[in-house]
């Protein structure tokens, strides 16, 4: 990104952390790997600190609460993969304000230092739930929200977990929730919140990355596109994640795949409940043509069952601990 005359960009370490959110199978891992390939950025994956630890152990100014929280964090596999130094965390934590957000930052800063990079970031599913808290805690943070056609996202989740609970009812509810948070958060934080559609990323990868780098106030580098410099490239990197040297692994092969895989009755349910939001994000609805038998099964079997699954997911979400 070019600087204007007389302008001075902040030092990399002062530009704030980077958060990648959105649902599973929406391109978060690809985005993380591309950012990890940047010489200034160290990204973690699936530590899920906000979901599993924020406000779960009481006031951290009490040492017993802090120790319980730290012990629970260190039991989590994806936290241990960052190779934290517990004694250093203890020492530095008590040198400042004893809060959850500061503990999270210290953990990630250690990892970034170990990687030899000045800026840290985290890939966390549905971190968009916590946007208000994140931006309050880290005023210079940036959040990237990955969004994908819910029908393709659902197909990809079925390919990974064919017997997954909730089926299309829960999938429709989760996508509506995440897409609604995307719209809300972008309105509240227009300069700090960016939405990237999976379909745009895989069809225009270089242009998308250049746009993301401008948003993050970092220089675009070609290594980001091929992801060759990303640490642990083979670790759960998703569909088509084995590129030939010098080539991007991103592909449009999985765009529209739901048409060959997802049953029409499930597509119909998703469109019935998320159709307006889908069209608003540029996902046209499929024409639905049922036989008489399918129509009866849809309204008398699928409809009530999927409504129940949708209601169950929303009830679980409503019981999530207060995010304040």
- pLDDT at residue 42, as a whole number: 96
Q: List, for residues 149-190, the tens digit of each pLDDT value.
A: 999 999 999 888 766 655 899 999 999 999 999 999 999 999
> CA-based Rg of the chain, rounded to a whole angstrom?
21
Q: What does the DSSP assignment read for 233-257?
A: TTSS--TT--PPTTS----STTTTT
230 phi and psi angles, rounded to 5 deg: -65, 130
pLDDT band at 320 (very low <50, low <70, confident <90, very high): confident
pLDDT band at 3 (very low <50, low <70, confident <90, very high): very low
DSSP state of 81: T
Region of residue 7 (left: phi > 0; alpha: psi -120 to 50; beta: else): beta
Cα separation, 22 vs 148, whole angstroms = 9
- pLDDT at residue 163, as a whole number: 66
314 phi and psi angles, rounded to 5 deg: -65, -35
Cα separation, 210 vs 214, whole angstroms = 6
22 phi and psi angles, rounded to 5 deg: 115, 175
At residue 324, does pLDDT exceed 70?
no
Q: What is the mean pLDDT of the segment spanning 233-252?
A: 60
**Which residue is associated with the tokens 């007389």?**
6
Q: Where are the alpha helices (DSSP H) in 59-144?
A: 63-75, 77-80, 86-93, 100-115, 131-137
Q: What is the mean pLDDT of the segment spanning 121-147?
A: 96
Handedness of CA 61, 65, 71, 72 (dihedral sign): negative
Q: What is the pTM of this model?
A: 0.90
Handedness of CA 80, 194, 156, 169 (dihedral sign): positive
- pLDDT at residue 166, as a whole number: 57
What are the chain's domains? 14-40+118-238+246-318 (3.40.50.300)
Averaged pLDDT of the chain = 89
At residue 212, does pLDDT exceed 60?
yes
Q: List, for residues 263-278, the tens digit of each pLDDT value.
A: 999 999 999 999 999 9
């Amino acid at each position: 990104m070019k600087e204007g005359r007389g302008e001075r960009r902040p030092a990399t370490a002062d530009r704030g952390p980077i958060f990648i959110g959105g649902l599973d199978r929406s391109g978060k891992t690809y985005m993380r790997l591309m950012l990890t390939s940047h010489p200034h950025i160290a990204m973690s994956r699936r530590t899920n600190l906000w979901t599993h630890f924020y406000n779960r152990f009481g006031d951290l100014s009490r040492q017993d609460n802090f120790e319980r929280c730290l012990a629970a964090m260190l039991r989590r596999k994806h936290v241990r993969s960052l190779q934290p130094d517990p004694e250093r965390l203890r020492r530095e934590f008590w040198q400042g304000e004893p809060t959850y957000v500061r503990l999270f930052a210290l953990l990630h800063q250690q990892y970034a230092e170990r990687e030899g990079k000045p800026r840290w970031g985290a890939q966390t599913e549905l971190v968009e739930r916590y946007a208000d808290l994140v931006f309050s805690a880290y005023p210079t943070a940036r959040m990237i929200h990955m969004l994908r056609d819910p029908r393709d996202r659902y197909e990809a989740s079925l390919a990974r977990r064919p017997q997954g609970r909730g089926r299309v009812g829960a999938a429709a509810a989760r996508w509506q929730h995440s897409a609604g948070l995307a719209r809300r958060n972008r309105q509240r934080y227009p300069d700090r919140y960016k939405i990237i559609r999976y379909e745009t990323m895989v069809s225009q990868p270089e242009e998308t990355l250049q746009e993301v780098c401008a948003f993050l106030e970092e220089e675009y580098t070609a290594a980001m596109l091929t992801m060759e410099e990303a640490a642990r490239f083979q670790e759960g990197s998703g569909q088509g994640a084995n590129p030939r040297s010098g080539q991007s692994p991103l592909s449009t092969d999985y765009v529209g795949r739901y048409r060959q895989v997802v049953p029409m009755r499930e597509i119909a349910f998703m469109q019935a409940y998320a159709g307006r939001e889908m069209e608003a994000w540029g996902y046209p609805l499929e024409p639905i043509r049922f036989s008489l038998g399918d129509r009866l099964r849809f309204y008398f079997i699928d409809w009530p069952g999927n409504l129940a699954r949708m209601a169950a997911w929303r009830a679980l979400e409503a019981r999530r601990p207060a995010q304040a």
